[in-house]
């Protein structure tokens, strides 16, 4: 009895194996292909995303179209400063009236630096990248440009910005300002800005600054006392609103509209990208979130 039952079981098993083999051979049994995520639709007129580890492009939208960049220009400002030989981040810079007058004249974003205060280069970099201080940008250009007059030093510094762009092989980028308040020749593209940011992120100092949400500077006043500045808050809201965000910089302006260069790391992968000419601060963040999530799906 037992032998008969075992025989039936064995014949059934053989039959199933043969049938399965035939199906496999015919190719009828196969895994359904993974559905590729559809590329997101963003409001920004230009966008680009790449895998920061290998430089692979993950998303493009008018990625090589030249546009005004607003304060995302300041990524290059910081990069030029951090590339200086024998850089002393603790060197002090005295804030000049010219920096304050410039802010007033252009109604520009400000780190609220106080004329006569001595501020370190490190503090100026935080003032540049967090509240997007055009006064901090001016101070850095004046400090690190060369020449006997302020205008000559500023011109020299902007020349260094363009030299860095050339060194990176960027053919669609030009700077005529240290902060993005240009005179018609301050432009870049989503692809180029992403490459500038990727290069800047090689600096540990730059990385530390752009991922900081809040920073309080203590400056030295004319009389030698210590002034505790009002905290600088990072304009990059992604740092609080998208898990894994590590930078980089916002930008805006009448021509530039709303821009954002962004980077995030998840599961050991870093995705970096840019959106240019979005419709609002909230929308540029939404655009960036979509591109980051899409990028991580493809990275």
Residues designated as active site: 71, 74, 132
Phi, psi torsion values for 275, nearest 5 degrees: -120, 135
Query: Residue 229 and residue 232: Cα distance in Å, rounded?
Result: 8
Sign of CA dihedral 202, 205, 209, 212: positive
Task: Name the residue with tokens 């079981």.
Answer: 9
Structure-block tokens of residue 40: 């997101």
Query: Residue 260 and residue 274: Cα distance in Å, rounded?
Result: 6
Query: Residue 84 and residue 2: Cα distance in Å, rounded?
Result: 88
249 is in an annotated binding site: yes
Could you tell me if 147 and 156 are in contact, meaning their C-beta atoms sit under 8 angstroms apart?
A: yes
DSSP states along 166-234: HHTT-SS-B-S-SSS--SS--EE-HHHHHHHHHHHTTSHHHHHHHT-SEE--EEE-TTS-EEEPPPEE-
Task: Name the residue with tokens 């260069």.
Answer: 261
Helices (H), the chain: 2-26, 74-82, 97-106, 121-129, 134-144, 150-167, 190-200, 204-210, 238-241, 281-298
Could you tell me if 275 and 207 are in contact, meaning their C-beta atoms sit under 8 angstroms apart?
A: no
Of 71, 196, 80, 207, nearest to 134 by C-alpha is 71
Could you tell me if 154 and 177 are in contact, meaning their C-beta atoms sit under 8 angstroms apart?
A: no
Could you tell me which residues are annotated as the binding site?
Answer: 249
Q: Which residues are annotated as a binding site for substrate?
A: 249
């Amino acid at each position: 009895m037992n032998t008969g039952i075992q025989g039936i079981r064995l014949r059934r098993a053989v039959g199933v194996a043969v049938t399965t083999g035939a199906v496999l051979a015919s190719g009828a049994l196969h895994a359904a292909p993974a559905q590729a995520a559809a590329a997101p639709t963003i409001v920004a007129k230009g966008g680009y995303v790449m895998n920061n580890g290998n430089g692979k492009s993950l998303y493009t939208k008018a990625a090589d179209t030249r546009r005004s960049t607003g304060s995302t220009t300041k990524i290059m400002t910081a990069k030029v400063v951090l590339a200086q030989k024998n850089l002393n981040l603790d060197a002090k810079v005295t804030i000049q009236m010219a920096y304050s007058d410039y802010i007033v004249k252009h109604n520009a974003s400000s780190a609220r630096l106080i004329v006569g205060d001595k501020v370190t280069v490190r503090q100026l970099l935080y003032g540049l990248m967090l509240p997007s201080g055009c006064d901090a940008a001016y101070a850095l250009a004046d400090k690190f440009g060369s020449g006997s007059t302020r205008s000559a030093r500023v011109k020299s510094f902007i020349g260094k910005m363009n030299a860095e762009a050339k060194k990176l092989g960027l053919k669609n980028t030009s700077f005529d300002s240290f902060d993005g308040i240009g005179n018609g020749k301050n432009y870049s593209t989503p692809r180029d800005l992403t490459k500038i940011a990727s290069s800047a992120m090689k600096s540990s100092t730059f990385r530390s600054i752009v991922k900081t949400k809040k920073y309080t500077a203590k400056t030295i006043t004319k009389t030698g006392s210590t002034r505790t500045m009002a905290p600088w808050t990072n304009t990059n809201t992604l740092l609080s609103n998208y898990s894994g965000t590590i930078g980089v910089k916002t930008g805006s302006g009448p021509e530039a509209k709303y821009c954002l260069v962004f980077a995030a790391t998840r599961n050991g992968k870093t995705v970096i990208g840019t959106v240019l000419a979005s419709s609002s601060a909230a929308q540029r963040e939404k655009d960036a979130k979509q591109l980051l999530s899409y990028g991580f799906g493809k990275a």
